[in-house]
């Protein structure tokens, strides 16, 4: 791989001049510029980003930390960050965090080693304190899908509680009175907030959720199936189910139909997230759109902005609202 020196030697100029040409610097004679450019071509010269980063103390790399890419939700998140990265001629440096605190720490350390100054991190396992510390060390660190009050201005998150409320209003507008819920057995923030918003909003209309109609299960399709079996077995009546996420919702629908219930004719089902599969399911799933890709773009932009506006207080975190996507799995109760 040829270096700037090679180019300089062959072109018969100094490395300083080559550097100017490479960076479109001013004050380079036209002739010289042409000559140097030509030699660069000949030699297939490409500047070494490491050397550049070293001397300029800038990185052309945008870091992302997600649990894994196999989950389409996180793939979309990474994709959103990539969109912004491309706009700035930067590249994604990806670190996966495998759902445990230690990996999350390792992931961020690797990014620090690479002197990646802008990072979008999805962290569920590190404590608030640890994240606050990290934010101090890395000014360009932005958290996504999480809010921590003291560093709100570096957070981009979804209002899960409002999502629950929207779902509740939707079902009520469809005249449903007896509703069931399927939540995640992992009592992290998201499911708790969604459920809380949901029941609060129902409560405001005088509807109380029968606690026998709340099931907790693995947040995947099978979990949805099992939870639905329990719901059915409970003997309680219900005309609609609010499900923690789309995968579970699809599992729920499948169990419902296997048991002779039509969706949405007999029972309405509403999911959450609006991931790819919700569009492919039959009936197509009514769900709450989680605008993760926009959020990721916003987070990436925020991370980049912090750097440029260092010191200014203009940069703000951002709360997103889920949006109801009415498809086919919910209907008015007869």
Partner DNA sequence: TTGAAAGCGGTACCAG
Partner DNA sequence: CTGGTACCGCTTTCAA
Residues near 281 by Cβ (< 8 Å), separated by ≥ 6?
246, 250, 253, 329
Per CB under 7 A, the segment of 25-33, 124-132, 203-211, 254-262 that binds DNA is: 25-33
CB atoms within 10 A of CB 5: 11
What would the x/- binding string for its own copies be over residues 235 to 254, using CB under 8 A? ------------x--x--xx
Nearer to its own copies, 160 or 281 (CB): 281
Taking Cα atoms as reference points, which of 42, 34, 54, 55 lies closest to residue 10? 42
- Does residue 68 interact with its own copies by CB under 8 A? yes
Pull the structure tokens for residue 185: 């057995």
Collect all residues with Cβ–Cβ distance below 8 Å to 116 and sequence separation of at least 6: 59, 61, 62, 63, 93
Nearer to its own copies, 160 or 301 (CB): 301
State the nearest-atom distance from the C-beta of 99 to its own copies, in Å: 13
Question: Residue 182: in which H helix or E strand, if any?
Answer: strand 179-184
Stretch that binds its own copies, among 77-85, 149-157, 164-172, 227-235 (CB under 8 A): 77-85
Exposed / middle / buried, residue 262 (Cβ in 10 Å: 0-12, 13-18, 19+):
exposed
Contact positions with its own copies (CB under 8 A) in 270-289: 276-277, 279-282
Site for DNA in 1-20 (CB under 7 A): 1, 3-5, 12-17, 19-20
Could you tell me the smallest distance in angstroms from the CB atom of residue 7 to its own copies? 15
Q: Which is nearer to DNA, 25 or 203 (CB)?
A: 25
For DNA, give the closer residue by CB, 9 or 230: 9
In angstroms, give the least distance from the CB of 18 to DNA: 7
Q: Is 139 in the site for its own copies (CB under 8 A)?
A: no
State which residue, 38 or 48, has the beta carbon closest to DNA.
48
Q: Which of 3, 13, 89, 90 is nearest to 51 (CA)?
A: 3
**Nearer residue to DNA within complex by CB, 282 or 307:** 307
- The span from the CA of 180 to the CA of 322, in Å, is 21
Q: Is 87 in the site for DNA (CB under 7 A)?
A: no
Q: Which of 34, 38, 54, 203 binds DNA (CB under 7 A)?
A: 54
d(C-alpha 149, C-alpha 81), whole Å: 23
Tally of CB atoms within 10 A around 165: 21
Secondary structure (3-state) at 11: helix
55 forms part of the interface with DNA (CB under 7 A): yes
d(CA 286, CA 243): 11
Chain centroid offset of residue 18 CA: 42
Q: How far apart are CA 260 and CA 159, in angstroms?
A: 35
The item of DNA, its own copies, none sharing an interface with residue 20, based on CB under 5 to 8 Å by kind, is DNA
Computed from CA positions of residues 195, 197, 202, 207, in that sequence, does the dihedral angle turn out positive or negative? positive
5's contact among DNA, its own copies, none, with CB below 5 to 8 A by partner kind, is DNA
- Out of 14, 23, 38, 46, name the contact with its own copies by CB under 8 A: 46
* Site residues (vs its own copies, CB under 8 A): 1, 44, 46-51, 53-54, 60-61, 68-70, 72, 75-76, 78-79, 82, 86, 91-96, 109-115, 137, 221, 247, 250, 253-254, 257, 276-277, 279-282, 293
* Site residues (vs DNA, CB under 7 A): 1, 3-5, 12-17, 19-20, 22-23, 26-33, 45-48, 51-52, 54-57
């Amino acid at each position: 791989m040829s270096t700037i020196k090679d180019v300089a030697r062959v072109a018969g100029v100094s490395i300083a001049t080559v550097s100017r040409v490479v960076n479109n610097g001013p004050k380079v004679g036209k002739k010289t510029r042409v000559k140097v450019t030509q030699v660069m071509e000949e030699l297939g010269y490409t500047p070494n980003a490491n050397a550049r980063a070293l001397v300029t103390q800038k990185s052309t790399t945008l870091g992302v930390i997600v649990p894994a890419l196999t989950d389409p939700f996180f793939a979309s998140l990474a994709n959103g960050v990539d969109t912004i990265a491309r706009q700035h001629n930067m590249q994604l440096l990806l670190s996966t965090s495998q759902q445990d605190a230690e990996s999350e720490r390792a992931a961020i350390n690797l990014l620090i080693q690479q002197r990646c100054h802008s990072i979008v991190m999805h962290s569920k396992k590190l404590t608030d304190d640890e994240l606050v510390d990290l934010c101090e060390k890395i000014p360009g660190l932005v958290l996504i899908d999480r809010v921590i009050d003291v560093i709100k201005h570096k957070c981009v998150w979804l209002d899960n509680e409002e999502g629950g409320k929207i779902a509740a209003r939707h079902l009520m507008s469809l005249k449903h009175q007896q509703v069931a819920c399927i939540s995640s057995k992992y009592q992290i923030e998201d499911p708790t907030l969604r459920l809380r918003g949901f029941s609060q909003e129902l409560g405001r209309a005088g509807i109380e959720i029968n606690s026998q109609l709340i099931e907790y299960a693995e947040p995947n399709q099978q979990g949805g199936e099992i939870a639905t079996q329990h719901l059915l077995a409970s003997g309680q009546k219900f005309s609609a189910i609010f499900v923690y996420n789309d995968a579970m919702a699809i599992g729920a629908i499948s169990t419902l139909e296997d048991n002779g219930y039509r969706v949405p004719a007999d029972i309405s089902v509403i999911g959450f997230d609006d991931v790819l599969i919700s569009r492919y399911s039959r009936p197509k799933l009514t769900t709450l759109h989680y605008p993760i890709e926009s959020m990721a773009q916003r987070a990436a932009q925020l991370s980049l902005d912090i750097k440029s506006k260092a010191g200014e207080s203009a940069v703000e975190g951002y709360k997103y609202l889920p949006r109801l996507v009415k498809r086919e799995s919910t209907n008015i109760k007869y």
